[in-house]
Amino acid sequence: MSPEVFVDILRDALFLVIVLVSAVIVPSLIVGLIVAVFQAATSINEQTLSFLPRLIVTLLALIIGGHWLVQKLMDYSIRLITSIPSVVS
């Protein structure tokens, strides 16, 4: 296996991880920002107020995007497994 092939596989894997994680984290960050602005505007300093909406949005993102997340992971795994003969030889 040449170093270029290894670097390409690693680059694709890291990009996939970034895409999959950002699909779950970004909605939670947006809701957290909205709740923080609301808390700053109303002077409510309750720490638990921002936890529940972020948790719900994260769970909804996993429920709604779960199929897409698994499909992306399966596509990458299949592509990786089918490229084994060309990489080894």
Residues in the chain: 89
CA 56 to chain centre: 16
| Torsion sign (Cα): 10, 22, 74, 56 | positive
Give the tens place of pLDDT for each residue, 53-73. Answer: 999 999 999 999 999 999 999
Give the tens place of pLDDT for each residue, 25-56. Answer: 999 999 999 998 998 898 888 878 888 999 99
**pTM (predicted TM-score):** 0.80
Q: Burial code of 70-82, b = ≥16 C-beta within 10 A, e = fewer?
A: eeeeeebeeeeee
What is the C-alpha to C-alpha distance for residues 61 and 20, in angstroms, rounded to an integer? 11
Q: Where are the domains of the chain?
A: 3-88
Beta strands per DSSP E along 1-89: none
